[in-house]
Amino acid sequence: MTVTVEPFAQRLEDSSVDWTIATPNNDCEELVAGLRDRLLADLPRTGMLLYRLVEGYGSQHPELAQLLELFSRLSGDVKMHLAHEQAAVLPRLRDGNACDADEAAELLLPLEAEQHVARHLLAEIRARALDYRPPTGACVTHRQVLIALESLERDLNDLFGFEDNILFPKVMQGSHW
């Protein structure tokens, strides 16, 4: 089954879904899976494009190598974040296994720290990529990289917004979806 994931803000505005009382039978779990799947598919593609760009133009544009390094760190961190969430947090919500405040903190503090690092890396990537504006004379690959990086930033902000506003509060409340 293919899931189309609209931007998070648009999904929240959909009046047919009350995200605050989401259950396993509605779109909440589907949204998480869709965001995760899209990120896991886009990260390698974006990395390959960026690698090709550095390979072709890195000697003339040393900032591209710095951009690749930042992206590589972000990509690894995001993959670990998604795996941690998938293994530790989502099963608690799915199964309705309530946890006390200490357990909730133990589950969420690492995810919140990972978010903080990812947000910092995203800001550095945006700065190095000149707010995703292609430089004069940028090749097609360079333009594709900038589009992919901006899309990645949007998707991660959607994920983090979902976590901060829905997922983490549900864990803290000891509820399930």
Tens of pLDDT, residue by residue over 37-61, are: 999 999 999 999 999 999 999 999 8
Domain membership flag for residue 13: no
Domain membership flag for residue 133: yes
Domain membership flag for residue 6: no
Count of structural domains, the chain:
1
Q: Residue 156 belongs to what domain range?
A: 25-173
Domain membership flag for residue 5: no
Domain membership flag for residue 12: no
Domain membership flag for residue 9: no
Domain membership flag for residue 96: yes
Stretches in the chain below the pLDDT threshold 50: 1-9, 11, 14-17, 19, 23-26
Contacts of 142-148 with C-beta under 8 Å, sequence gap 24+, read 142/53, 142/57, 144/49, 145/46, 145/49, 145/50, 145/53, 148/42, 148/45, 148/46, 148/49
